[in-house]
Structure 1
Amino acid sequence: MGKIFTLLVLVGVPLSVIGSLMHWPSIMLFVIYCITIIALASFMGRATESLAIVAGPRIGGLLNATFGNAVELIISIFALQAGLIELVLASLTGSVLGNLLLVGGLSFFVGGLKFKRQTFNVFDARHNSGLLIFGVVVAFVIPEVFTTSMDADKTMNLSVGISVILILLYLAALFFKLVTHRGVYQPLEGGAVHHEEEPEWGRGKALIILLLATIAVAYVSENLVHTFEAVAESFGWSELFIGVIIVAIVGNAAEHASAIIMAYKNKMDIAVEIAVGSTLQIAMFVAPLLVLISLFFPVSMPLVFTWPELAAMITAVFLTVSISNDGDTNWFEGLTLLAAYVIMGIGFYLL
């Protein structure tokens, strides 16, 4: 698989540059850009995994989620610059749904096919559950409820205030997990035996690959944004569907692959940390950061989602919380999450 992704990068990046300079048809460029970003994301995932092998599951999952979300953050910034506010909000919705239902579901399902029962740190699961409910249900619903009787300026002020609080709480959560309470909440049972692993790349090589892949993703993402309008017209897709499904899957390709691989290796702590940790980072850091960044563009983005987006995210959060709170999973629970994702995908396609 690594050789295939290497070939896709070696072919895709030059084609992306040539195609954008020669103004190839938008549909062709859209496909090339998406495949190239997914291939680059795989390199980012492998680099972060190499860096994380010596750092433990929490930091490993955080690294993977951060650089996986970097792709989507880059795409979203260029979309904000182009004034595509609805598409950015839709892609944030898609990230929450994709990480919880698609990535989490595939991880539980694939791992459950190999192992009848898989366990992970129940204390982390319960801690993340509270943050999920706050970050998605409280912080996203409040603006929608209160802004019904507000003008645009007050709506933006409320969004900025909530965004600052979300970022501060997210940083406090990292400080709690990685500094003040690191190692305090350990699983009650011994769990799986962990074998020493050799990183695929050394620290220096992994950092260089990570930097180069991020730069390449930034270039390709900027060009990808310019194809959305033509693709939407050609396929009859709404901006909402492109954001919720297409941009979210392409933007989160790195952690999608990593979480599933970790689950197959029975490293469920890392798999869950990637899926849930990435969702928390989207809701409590990336989304509010984009709100603050949008203040520097002609059109600002309030933290106000549509009711279908809110309903889908709230459902995904409570379904994930109910399944993961016992620190135990199997393939059927994974299939349940995947079924919920498909149902929501059909709904957004038909909107």
Structure 2
Amino acid sequence: MVNKIFFILIVIGVPLSVAGSLLHWSQILMFTVYCLTIVSLAAYMGRATESLAIISGPRIGGLLNATFGNAVELIISIFALKEGLVEIVLASLTGSVLGNLLLVAGLSFFVGGIKFKRQKFNVYDARHNSGLLMFGVIVAFVIPEVFAMGMDDAEAISLSIGISVILIVLYLAALFFKLVTHRGVYQHNEENGAEPHHEEPEWSKKKAMIVLALSTVAVGYVAESLVHTFETVGETFGWSELFIGVIIVAIVGNAAEHASAIIMAYKNKMDIAVEIAIGSTLQIAMFVAPILVLISLFFPVQMPLVFTLPELVTMVTAVLLTIVISNDGETNWFEGATLLAAYLIMGIGFYLL
């Protein structure tokens, strides 16, 4: 039933998006159409990556889901950078970190925890990810803020470029570590109550890849149109660029992995759910954000890797809370509720700021 609704929204939404952008319809109306269309397309991207996850295993499947989920936000951010909306891009990166660690992980733990008393996942992966979260968010985002206080804009950009290159190299090294040199070394040997992994994928590998490719192209077109509505929507509803970036763009841009992680948790496939939520955060911090810094060099307005104080404090808090909750390799519904409560508190703060 839900899949039919998303299909109908795509069939209606994509033509409406094209017509609305060409005929200059009401930007408030089109903002709603664009958001619903992107979320629907993201749902199909989620279904495709879920099929690929069954075919290729939890680690690669989670990585694929995070990558294609983040592709939506990357596309939106590139068009926003082209328009000079640096504050919205930085805010959307903040929103992705908060959304993945607190909203996605929180909903996954909560929904899965209602069905199962205790849910376990690979504790070795959790501890490995904890170190990367500390580095990718706290070290790489806080350090530029500290040093940028005594720098001019050109020096801040140079600092950001250097840090971005280091982040990308370390992220690629982390993938090489997990998928090549240490693949299978840290196996999760404990039984976590999950059903045997013998289910058939919904789509074949070829069909899933075609759906992913077409959905990504469609999202790219709709995302460019969505960016042009931000200013009007902000003025109409009294939303700041910070709120639009942290909450609206982040939720719309990460809709695919939001849905997939929750579905995986409900099926007690916590290794995939955690890999989507935390793996996506690491990809945002250590790959997407640095790539956007480098891409911004080709636009009139460059983007330094320097966040506002509220953005930094909330991201650091989200990382520390996630590490404390996930480091034992198991979770329950109350821990999910704790993460969700933290997200709501921060959301209220950004709305009122």
Question: Where on the TM-score scale, by shorter chain, does this alignment land: which range?
Answer: over 0.9
Moved more, 18-27 or 333-342: 18-27
Aligned partner of 1:155 in structure 2 is 156
Aligned residue in 2 for 1:12: 13
Q: How much identity, in percent, do the aligned residues show? A: 78
SS at match of 1:237: coil
CA distance in 1, matches of 2:292, 2:345: 28
Gaps of 5+ in 2: none
Give the drift of 1:193: 3.9
Shift of 1:54: 1.6
Equivalent runs, 1:272-351 vs 2, <5 Å: 272-351=274-353
Matched, 1:230 2:237: no
2:173 maps to what in 1?
Answer: 172
Partner Cα distance (2:197, 2:313) in 1: 42
Q: CA deviation at 1:153?
A: 1.0
Amino acid in structure 2 at the alignment position of 1:272: V
Mean CA deviation greater in 190-199 or 13-22: 190-199
**Any idea what the Cα deviations from partners look like across 1:217-238, whole Å, max 9, x if unmatched?**
0000000000000000000000
Residue in 1 aligned with 2:127? 126
TM-score (norm 2): 0.99
Contact 2:42 2:215 in 1 (8 A): yes
| Aligned-pair CA distance for 1:163 | 0.1
Letter in 1 for 2:328: D
Q: Per-residue CA shift, 1:93-152, capped at 9, x if unaligned?
A: 000000000000000000000001000000000000000000000000000000100111
**Residue identity matched to 1:228:** F
- For residues 196 and 285 of structure 1, the distance between their equivalents in structure 2, rounded to whole angstroms, comes to 33
Match of 2:214 in 1: 212
Superposed CA deviations along residues 251-305 of structure 1, whole A, max 9, x for unmatched, are 0000000000000000000000000000000000000000000000001000000
Q: Distance in 2 between matches of 1:187 and 1:60?
A: 16
Q: 2:261 aligns with which of 250, 254, 259?
A: 259
Distance (Å, rounded) in 1 between the aligned partners of 2:74 and 2:151: 28
> Which residue number corresponds to residue 74 of structure 1?
75
List gaps (5 residues or longer) in structure 1.
Answer: none
Normalising by the residue count of structure 1, what TM-score does the alignment of the two structures yield? 0.99
User: How do 1:53-132 residues align onto structure 2 when only pairs under 5 Å count?
Assistant: 53-132=54-133
- Number of paired residues? 351
Q: For residues 306-342 of structure 1, what are the alpha-carbon distances to aligned partners after superposition, in whole Å with 9 as ceiling and x for unaligned? A: 0000000000000000000000100000000000000
Q: CA shift at 1:48, angstroms?
A: 1.1
Specify the alignment match of 1:21 in structure 2.
22
**Residue deviations 1:11-67 (CA, integer Å, cap 9, x gap):** 100110111111111100000000000000001111111112121110010000000
Find the residue that maps to 1:38 and give its secondary structure: helix
- The 1-side partners of 2:321 and 2:243 are apart by 22
Q: Is the 8 A contact 2:27 2:233 kept in 1?
A: yes
Aligned structure 1 segments of 4 or more residues deviating by more than 4 angstroms: none
